[in-house]
Amino acid sequence: MNGLPDINFKAVVFGAAIAAGFTLFGWQYWDWFYPFSAIGLLYAGYGQKNLTLGTILGALASTPIVILFLEGYMGQPSGYFITENGILVLTALILIVGALIGFVGAWTRKSREKAKAEFEKKQNIGKNKNKNKKNKKANVKKANEKTSYVDKIFKK
């Protein structure tokens, strides 16, 4: 288990379900529901901790859309896309777009975490700067006391 990357499977599963759901709603009711399937792919990418995982799992979350395309839920292909090569090209395009949207979701998470860190840094500059440091030191002392107590127990 130590060799596996830290993957948020909940985000991938729910993202794929949202993408497939909006695709089915688009087929069943109105065509303008199709673009909203990107919300699921964004969520699948946003749930991951780095850009590479977000990209890969965004493509993985777009596989239900590929399956729905192959089953005919996105309309019947015409022209070049009737041939085997055309179907493979369209399948690859769906996976590439899913990877791109997953990358955008992961990039959004990364930039949001960076903005939150900058906001916290700005919050520490000001009136209660010393008060926050005292609270942090007290919390660190409490944590050290707990670990030293645990260490005493396990040394015996």
Instruction: Quickly count: other Cβ atoms within 10 Å of residue 107's Cβ.
Output: 15
DSSP structural state of residue 1: -
**Residue 129 — very low, low, confident or very high, per pLDDT cuts 50/70/90?**
low
Record the tokens describing residue 1, joined without a space: 């288990």
Residues in the chain: 156
Residues of the chain above pLDDT 90, percent:
29
d(CA 96, CA 55): 9
Q: Is 30 exposed, middle or buried (0-12, 13-18, 19+ CB in 10 A)?
A: exposed
Q: What pLDDT score was predicted for residue 154?
A: 62
Q: pLDDT digit string (tens) for 18-45?
A: 999 998 888 888 878 888 889 999 999 9
- Predicted TM-score (pTM) of the model is 0.70
Q: pLDDT digit string (tens) for 64-117?
A: 999 988 888 777 778 877 888 988 999 999 999 999 999 999 999 989 988 888
| Mean pLDDT of the residues in the chain | 81
